[in-house]
Chain A
């Protein structure tokens, strides 16, 4: 093969027998980039002005409830849908109207979409056959892929002769054999039962480490997203509410929606009474004062929510010395979960707060606090989080206030 000369500001990268020119401009450190991508179906904004970058080799999850635009985003990357406005970049290049079969992107479909009339080998080999690779090369690669997904010996079988988990592995092998720039996974584990799903989560992580391909993973399962991703984009109503690491998403949710969607959160509504560079003091209904770290946009007099995770609350029977960040209440109900007990505490202002207490006592006796016991709930200044209407990555519109109860409902599910 004659050596290709590449234009300036690009580099030749050898991939197998092929050589290609890649741009070395700064954008190409990202395998995938959305710039102000919007997709509308009629009046519905399925994806609303999404902008983000995915680094090479990253595992990014798109997380959100059904209808939040995550699958539409995936379909636009694959090329099945085109953005109404904005542009998607793959490997630094705008994809424009490139049809799916010319994009170096492959998809693992939600219900696998294996070809029912082809054997496992023929399914996996499909991509390479479409590229007209030599026969021996295909056979060798198929074998390697089936070994990678730990499915040796089923090559002659047809998809309907395999279990759901096995079909999932075949779909994965079929998509990975093309060595895509980005691998798209559309709720790939949704149809599997819990036990198989857990195993496949670990398998997917292992495969991601081994092949080093960029994964974009769509899911509505927060636990899946938290455990598997390098970063998570939480989506709602077509907008990206927050894009951060799993810990960042969980510990510092940027919006009420994120706080409510990921894990359990108590939202306590109140008015900012005072603020300085360090602290914000919020007075909630009933008169109690809560102290939290200062954020932008929480001016004095503003209505805000204080978000506090149930496991970060300390529950004590005696009144603590400092009155700030402490609430008085009564045990309304509890659910004993073995390693932990989840309490529902009725506050003096009739609001209910959920508290998770680890059962770490040294004897078996002190496992639960009975219903009706008066208790004090306290947390440190750094544990509570101010969620202001103006705070977060996305400016919120005035009409969005009615969303807070909805988020709370999700949290209490």
Chain B
């Protein structure tokens, strides 16, 4: 007995301490989860309120019927068929995609060299230039759009200069109220969205890698092609995604500067809500727009990890 007791006691003590430790760990774990949840609750609520619920409502609404007396709950594919039967809508969608692609492409071509210069070329003017890039952000979107009127208008800066220099006889009207002015203005407005991510990815690039490439026999051009460009791809993809989404969904700029030829998908969509009050059809247009963006995100994720693109990963 005595021997048994002597051997049993430490065992009991050990198991007791182990169970206590387990309890503490479990408690910690549980409290850990509580803490995690506490941190996530506000974001989850916001997501529910502003994203999940509205999207569910959109999907439900897209099957409703719009009558003269308001929106009637229903389950009909008519709204979708309306989109497909009327060639104006798909054409407008394609044109908007084309405009957004143009804006994105030109932004990229302008931004990459600039971001490169900012990150790797200069030290003295870096802060100044970065601030100059960001300044438009601090101005109202509307003002940035409207500012093109006195520049491109008939009595605007460009025409005035051309007239004064006697390069043209009468003011050029082709500057405003068409796709050109929309593309130009959208580039102006969304350029920072392209410059900043590319700048950040280039700034993060380890200079020793460039030295290593040079050391191994790569000329500066080939170093750029084999090292700099691939390693800045997350920034490039991030910029493309952000500028495309913003340009694709733009409707204020086309409305103000687009005239009739510069109308975009977003304008028709907005009209369904504020003009013709055909909310169910508006829901269809919104869902189609979202699908285009989703497709873009899927394609983008093939080229770069999206968590890297949006900075979650170094």
Contacting pair A178 B230 (CB below 8 A): no
Q: What chain B residues lie within 8 Å of A178 (beta carbons)?
A: 216-217
Contact of A100 among B209, B215, B226, B227 (CB under 8 A): B215
The CA-CA distance from A79 to B211 in the complex, in Å, is 10
Determine if A109 and B208 form an interchain contact, defined as CB atoms under 8 angstroms apart. Answer: yes
B217–A80 CB distance below 8 A: no
Partner of A115 from the list B209, B214, B219 (CB cut-off 8 Å) is B209
Q: Does any Cβ of B come within 8 Å of A190's Cβ?
A: no
> Which residue of chain A has the shortest Cβ distance to B211 in the bound complex?
A80
What bracket does the count of chain B residues touching chain A fall in? 10 to 19
Known contacts A126-B226, A130-B222: A113-B216 contact under CB 8 Å: no
Binary contact track A271-290/B, C-beta < 8 Å → 1, others 0: 00000000000000000000
Bin the interface of chain A by size: 20 to 34
Contacting residue for A126 out of B206, B216, B231, CB 8 A: B216
Task: List residues 164-210 of chain B with CB under 8 A from any CB of chain A.
Answer: 206, 208-209
> A99 contacts which chain B residues (CB < 8 A)?
214
Which of B217, B219, B227, B231 has the most chain A CB atoms closer than 10 A to its own CB?
Answer: B217
B14: Cβ under 8 A from any A Cβ: no
Given the known interface contacts A116-B231, A117-B231, the answer about A127 and B217 at a Cβ–Cβ threshold of 8 Å is yes
Do A109 and B230 have beta carbons less than 8 Å apart? no
Q: CB within 8 A of B215: which of A101, A111, A114, A116?
A: A101
Give the residues in chain B near A72, CB-CB below 8 Å. none
Q: Is B227 touching A115 in the complex (CB atoms < 8 A)?
A: yes
> In angstroms, how far is the closest chain A Cβ from the Cβ of B215?
5
Interface presence of B72 (CB below 8 A): no
Whether B213 sits at the interface, judged by CB under 8 Å, is: yes
The answer to whether B218 has its CB under 8 Å from any CB of chain A is yes
Q: Does B212 belong to the interface (CB within 8 Å)? A: yes
Which residues from chain B contact A181 at a C-beta distance below 8 Å?
none
B218 closest partner in A (C-beta) = A130
Whole-angstrom CA separation of A151 from B222 in the bound complex: 28
Q: Is the CB of A113 within 8 A of B217?
A: no
Please determine whether B212 and A115 come into contact, CB atoms closer than 8 angstroms.
Answer: yes
* Docked complex Cα distance between A303 and B111 (Å): 68
Q: Would you give the 0/1 interface string for B269-312, flagging 1 where the beta carbon is closer than 8 Å to chain A?
A: 00000000000000000000000000000000000000000000
Q: How far is the CA of A312 from the CA of B231 in the complex (A)?
A: 57
Give the residues from 101 to 150 in chain A that come closer than 8 angstroms, CB to CB, to chain B. Answer: 101-102, 105-107, 109, 111, 113-117, 126-127, 130-131
Say yes or no: B208 contacts A130, CB within 8 Å: no
Interface majority SS (helix, strand, loop, mixed), chain A: mixed
Q: Distance (Å) between the CB of A184 and the closest chain B CB?
A: 9
Task: Assess whether A174 is interfacial by the CB under 8 Å rule.
Answer: yes
**Which residues of A152-185 have CB atoms within 8 Å of chain B's CB atoms?**
174-175, 178
Closest to B223 in A: A101
A78, A80, A105, A113: the one contacting B209 at CB < 8 Å is: A113
Known: A115-B227, A126-B226. A78 touches B208 (CB 8 A): no
Pair B208/A101 contact, Cβ less than 8 Å: no
- Min CB distance B21 to A, Å, is 32
A106, B214: Cβ atoms closer than 8 Å: no
Q: Are A130 and B216 in contact (CB under 8 A)?
A: yes
CB of B303 to closest CB in A, whole Å: 12
Q: Are A126 and B214 in contact (CB under 8 A)?
A: no
Known A101-B219, A127-B217, A178-B217; judge A109-B231 contact (CB<8 A).
no
Closest to B230 in A: A117
Distance in angstroms between the alpha carbons of A174 and B216 in the assembled complex: 8
CA distance A127 to B206 in the complex (A): 19
Partner pick for B212 among A79, A102, A113, A131, CB 8 A cutoff: A113
Give Cα A130 to B218, complex, Å: 6
Nearest CB of A to B307, in Å? 15
Q: Which residues of B in the span 25-60 have a Cβ within 8 Å of any Cβ on A?
A: none
Contact yes or no, B230 A111, CB < 8 A: no
In the A-B complex, list the 6 residue pairs whose CB atoms are closest, starting with the nearest: A130-B217, A113-B212, A127-B216, A113-B208, A100-B214, A130-B218
Residues of B within 8 A of A (CB): 206, 208-209, 211-219, 222-223, 226-227, 230-231
- Extra contacts, 16 of them, besides A101-B216, A107-B212 (Cβ < 8 A), are A79-B214, A79-B215, A101-B215, A101-B217, A101-B218, A101-B219, A107-B215, A109-B211, A113-B209, A115-B227, A117-B230, A127-B216, A127-B217, A130-B217, A174-B216, A175-B216
A-B contact pairs, 11 of them (CB 8 A): A80-B215, A99-B214, A101-B214, A101-B215, A101-B216, A101-B218, A113-B211, A116-B209, A116-B231, A130-B216, A130-B218
